[in-house]
Structure 1
Amino acid sequence: MQHHHTENNAGTHETWLEREALAEAMIPLIGRLYRTNNVVTSIHGRSLINKSTMSILKAHRFARRITTEELLLEDTAPILRILADLDLGAAAIDIGRLRNAYDGAGDGRTLEEFVRAELADIVGQGGRDERTSTDVVLYGFGRIGRLVARLLIEKAGGGHGLRLRAVVVRRGSANDLTKRASLLRRDSVHGSFEGTIQVDEATNTITANGTRIQVIYSDDPATIDYTAYGISDALVVDNTGRWRDEEGLSQHLTSTGVAKVLLTAPGKGALKNIVHGINHATILDSDRIITAASCTTNAITPVLKAIHDRFGVVHGHVETVHSFTNDQNLIDNFHKGDRRGRSAALNMVLTETGAATAVAKALPELAGKLTGSSIRVPTPDVSIAILNLTLETGTTKEEVNTYLRGMSLHSGMRKQVDYIDSPEVVSTDFVGSRRAGIVDGLATIADGIHLVLYVWYDNEFGYSCQVVRVMEEMAAVHPPTYPAADADTSAGGSVHAG
């Protein structure tokens, strides 16, 4: 009996080693497609660019959530080899969905014939990329600014699309540049920067993985000549939060070399508050100033839309248990806001949130139907929103969970909504999530027309991913996506990989 058990273990280990070898062989193909052909590959939305052997294996394992069966490397490796031989033009290609499409076609074609036909528009294009490049300036380099920088550097590819050119900050010390680079390199929540960073004091530049970032020192958004640094028609991403209305943000537009402005906070007045996946199709080329709403608004609006579309929301209350933020005090001290002067590290702090009412800017059909409040708690990142809703149509826990799980996998909001039903997850498990919000299915409470949903969200990284998606819409820099995207359920917007 003991000998039989050992043989089974040996067989399992041997299989694992074979799978590791297949994954390792995929890495140079993934890299060559990315650098030579501007092709971004993914598996059911999980990017394969610059990923380790283990990450590639985990992406294949993740496929069980879509098809109930693990995706085999023996099925995807041949697709990558075919892609590498087709000398493709720029594209985002989901090889997991491409394999599913081939398995479901059943028309007798070989895999190569099927892939060639699916990608006919870009075969033999030799990396051709029809997209224009858009210069990006980060005005401010705080929590969101540095995470957006990491994402832009990660997506730099062949230099098309969004190009991070500069950051603007106020000089904090004589060795300011070195300190800024260090904050980009090391992060207590999100870990070390994946790659290399060099600092050039003579030119005031930081070079991260080949992306050269000009650091500009200024405290006046209206007087910078960006063209002096070779920057033109730039998209300025204001992540300082100092200006929230059109008048304040318009200061950026008076600087030479600026075309558009995006605020990484809720805007005031008539400014468009965009939640990607919900109302990004309303962005017009003529829009000069856009706001990306708040982390909480981005987390709850997609889930609320999904519920409202299926069951109808009569009214509800949103309670967020939110990690503390930089605007709170470490220890008790004066603060202009109520309660926020008390120590963030020692207290749960009851405060207001505008997220419930802000939902209506992206989803007008919920105007006046939601209230909200927030409790700041002593954790540095990841929050949870509790949606207590009264519905028009009753439902059950099983029905609503099945529906939301499906929305997370197959809908036009699958980049925004995630779903999990593990009984062991806690907040730190969601650090680095690229979705706007993650429904905790086991916590769902449904009793007829009364529904309570728990939605986790990385209020830093998940939100930053949403910001970048809005930036891509403003700059119109999406590559063609293969296979064709699912029918979109998000206000007519398109679905993009990556």
Structure 2
Amino acid sequence: MTVNDDSFTNWKHREETAESMIPMIGKLHREQDVTILLHSRSLVNKSVVSILKTHRFARQIAGAELSVTETMPFLRALTALDLGPSQIDIGMLAATYRTDDRGLSVEEFTAEAVAGATGANKIDRREGRDVVLYGFGRIGRLVARLLIEKAGSGNGLRLRAIVVRGGGEQDLVKRASLLRRDSVHGQFQGTITVDEDNSTILANGNAIKVIYADDPAQVDYTAYGIKDAILIDNTGKWRDREGLSKHLRPGIDKVVLTAPGKGDVPNIVHGVNHDTIKPDERILSCASCTTNAIVPPLKAMEDEYGVLRGHVETVHSFTNDQNLLDNYHKSDRRGRSAPLNMVITETGAASAVAKALPDLKARITGSSIRVPVPDVSIAILNLQLAREASREEVVDHLREVSLTSPLKRQIDFIGAPDAVSSDFIGSRHASIVDAGALKVEGDNAILYLWYDNEFGYSCQVVRVVQHVSGVEYPTYPAPAV
């Protein structure tokens, strides 16, 4: 047999294994509310090739490719357990089993690693929580896609309604079309139909009422059977407590803003300070995409090395706030054509760090340059550390944080030497450390952090909503603290 024949036979075998994984993953998700992950990447509703690519990507962060033949025994072991709602990372199970020297079988090791999600320890499946989207722009539509994708067993978040201003003839059809097709993020994964008579969009079986209103006070959510809902305000029109309180009407329990909050509105970066949310807090903000990108790695560096001061320069894709062609704009420079220019502008991300990391004493400054790409940005975080370090030490630390720490859903890691911005479209992490670009000299470290400022941020928003709604389930094996 030739090398080519051998490689192809191996590929076909792995394809067959990945194919047999799909019904197991699907059944665990539908019937037991268990999400199977591979190094923090969900394998639910993934194709054979997607599962194989996710396994292969492990080499970028763990240093070696992970084979489906390694993870399949752990998945099979999970199907035999009495599991409760949880997220289980079979990549981490395989990695930790490799270093375990107790001679346990895969079945014994798996049962021990996920014991908190089995038998008497498992948590009850919770009732679904209603969600309303106020506004349906770039972030609103991506959050909608995520909520529909995560509907799964029906016990999580349920997108019940979208509130928008009336847009004239065929408004509903046009909005459904924008949900169905996206120039940056591609086709919606599933089916979408429109019921104009009932002002409803049906997406993968989810009936989403489209409510037309010019002001929150015009909406009676209980009239649509909506109760105890979390409202996600994607408009940014109101950013302080007084303005956002307009949404607290019958049927709405909490309000989450997808922009930096002002005044005493808590700015939450999931993974960093989401556990500080008070149970009775009804209004909170998910801060900005850039704040979400820089705060997790900043915390990782502060915890290990200490940070004395820093500056963040974000090279940011253009947004809908800028003009397509030169025209009047209330802000300086943003009136100049977005697809034709690099535009220096301000960012509030640096000042927002203090709200998310109140214990960080370092002064962080920031500025921004908008550039002619439609999505994915990069934050260059220049830090003076409290002690000297080597480049290899910092790279290893951030790689380990991305793999095993409580921040592994926020921080991703890539060592590919030819990575460029479009490679990160669709990333679900808050930021991705570019190991090849990272620089360290003495007590100075410069981190290059890619982030999908649309989709990665939307994932962070949904994580916050899951947390405050009580449908954020524990992850096993538990990340190292």
The two structures share one fold, judged by TM-score above 0.5: yes
User: Which shifted more, 116-125 or 206-215?
Assistant: 116-125
C-alpha displacement at 1:409, in angstroms? 1.2
Asked if residue 141 in structure 1 is aligned to residue 136 in structure 2, the reply is yes
Is residue 209 of structure 1 aligned with residue 204 of structure 2?
A: yes
- Residue 178 of structure 1: aligned partner: 173
8 A contact 1:388–1:452 mirrored in 2: yes
TM-score (norm 1): 0.92
Contact 1:142 1:239 in 2 (8 A): yes
* TM-score of the pair, normalised by structure 2: 0.95
Q: Structure 2: which amino acid aligns with 1:466?
A: Q
**CA deviations over 1:23-67 (Å, ceiling 9, x no partner):** 111111111221222221111211110101111112222333565
Q: 2:306 aligns with which of 302, 306, 312?
A: 312
SS in 1 for 2:254: strand
Aligned to 1:273: 267
- Tell me what 1:334 maps to: 328
Residue 181 of structure 1 deviates from its aligned partner by 0.5
Question: 1:365 aligns to what?
Answer: 359
**AA in 1 matched with 2:480:** A
Structure 2: any 5+ residue segments left out of the alignment?
none
Q: Which residue of 2 aligns with 1:152?
A: 147
1:64: which partner in 2? 59
Following superposition, the deviation at residue 124 of structure 1 comes to: 6.9
2:308–2:361 CA contact under 8 A, matched in 1: no
Aligned partner of 1:210: which letter? Answer: G
The structure-2 alpha-carbon separation of the partners of 1:102 and 1:450, relative to structure 1 and needing over 3 Å to count, comes to closer
> Distance between the aligned counterparts of 1:110 and 1:368, measured in 2?
48
Structure 2 counterpart of 1:449: 443
| Corresponding position of 2:479 | 486
Tell me the CA shift for residue 412 of structure 1: 1.1
Structure 1: gaps spanning 5 or more residues:
1-5, 489-498
- 1:393 maps to which of 387, 390, 400: 387
What does residue range 86-485 of structure 1 map to in structure 2 within 5 Å? 86=81, 88-120=83-115, 123=118, 129-253=124-248, 255-366=249-360, 369-483=363-477, 485=478
One-letter amino acid of the structure 2 residue matched with residue 204 of structure 1: S
| Equivalent in the alignment of 2:17 | 22
SS of aligned partner of 1:409: helix
Decide whether the 8 Å contact of 1:357 with 1:367 is kept in 2. Answer: no
- 2-structure distance, mates of 1:150, 1:158: 16
* Aligned counterpart, 1:495: none
Q: Which whole-Å CA distance do the structure 1 matches of 2:94 and 2:398 have between them?
A: 24
The one-letter amino acid paired with 1:155 is K
Cα distance in 2 between the residues matched to 1:121 and 1:404: 28
Runs of 4+ more than 6 Å apart: none
Deviations 1:151-174, CA, capped at 9 Å, x for gaps = 111111111121111110001122
Matched residue of 2:193: which SS?
Answer: strand
**Percent of aligned positions with the same letter in both sequences?**
61
Q: Aligned letter for 1:385? A: A
For residues 373-395 of structure 1, give each alpha carbon's deviation from its aligned partner in whole angstroms, at most 9, with x where no partner exists. 11111110011111122222122
- 1:451 Cα offset (Å): 2.2
Q: Give the superposition deviation at 1:444.
A: 1.8
The whole-number CA distance in structure 2 between the counterparts of 1:482 and 1:43 is 11
Distance across 2 between alignment mates of 1:75 and 1:351:
49
Amino acid at match of 2:135: G
- Greater CA drift, 83-92 or 237-246: 83-92
Contact in 1 for aligned 2:389/2:440 (Cα 8 Å): yes
Counting matched residue pairs gives 480
Equivalent residues of 1:433, 1:462 under 8 A apart: yes
- Shifted more, 33-42 versus 143-152: the winner is 33-42
Alignment-mate amino acid for residue 160 of structure 1 = N
The structure-2 alpha-carbon separation of the partners of 1:205 and 1:424, relative to structure 1 and needing over 3 Å to count, comes to same
Cα separation, 2, equivalents of 1:314 and 1:116:
44
Asked if the contact 1:133/1:163 (under 8 Å) is kept, the reply is yes
Cα RMSD between the aligned structures? Answer: 1.9
